[in-house]
Amino acid sequence: MHLEIQTAPRSGTTQRVALFGRLDTHSYPQLDAELAPVLDGGDPPVMSLVLDLAGLNYISSAGIRSIFKARKALTARNGKLLVVNPQPQIQKVFDVVKAVPMSDIFTSVAEADAYLDMVQRKVVSGDEDE
């Protein structure tokens, strides 16, 4: 009845993880454990983590802390954490604590994928802004 985590097969340097249920003070260690190998890297390391939150009903500051930690680990190696389809309660909490920049929140997996493709093309063609 608490948190369920579905980790998709890795696709290139992109990893999709879907969360269902409640990410709170009881369940955040489960997410930390599931994300540890993803954040540790691999060869080549995961550069984009897409968190699909369509099935997540509730988040508290303990859950925010886990997502924040994941985001830091990724940005430290110039990677990205994208969030897809947060439900209203989740979006509200994200807004209050500014957990994820607005530009990293998408309303569908397809939209996030399109964004990642675009970034990828920029990197390959060498015309990335920074």
> Which residue ranges make up the site for another protein (CB under 8 A)?
24-26, 58, 60-62, 64-65, 68-69, 71-72, 75-76, 88-89, 92-93, 96-98, 101
**Residue 12 C-beta: closest distance to another protein, Å:** 24
- Rounded to a whole number, what is the distance in angstroms from the first to the last CA of the chain? 44
- Element housing 94 (H / E): helix 88-97
12 vs 101, beta carbon nearer another protein = 101
CB of 75 to another protein, least distance (A): 5
Q: Least Å distance between CB 29 and another protein?
A: 12
Gap between the Cα atoms of 54 and 122, Å rounded: 29
Q: In the complex with another protein, which residue's Cβ is closer, 97 or 114? A: 97
User: Shortest Cβ distance from residue 111 to another protein (Å)?
Assistant: 21
Three-state DSSP class for residue 10: coil
Beta strands in 1-130 (DSSP E): 3-7, 14-23, 48-59, 80-84, 105-106
Which one, 13 or 60, has the nearer CB to another protein?
60
Q: CB nearer to another protein: give 32 or 34.
A: 32
Which residue has 């983590």 as its token pair? 49
Q: Which position has the token pair 């990293």?
A: 104
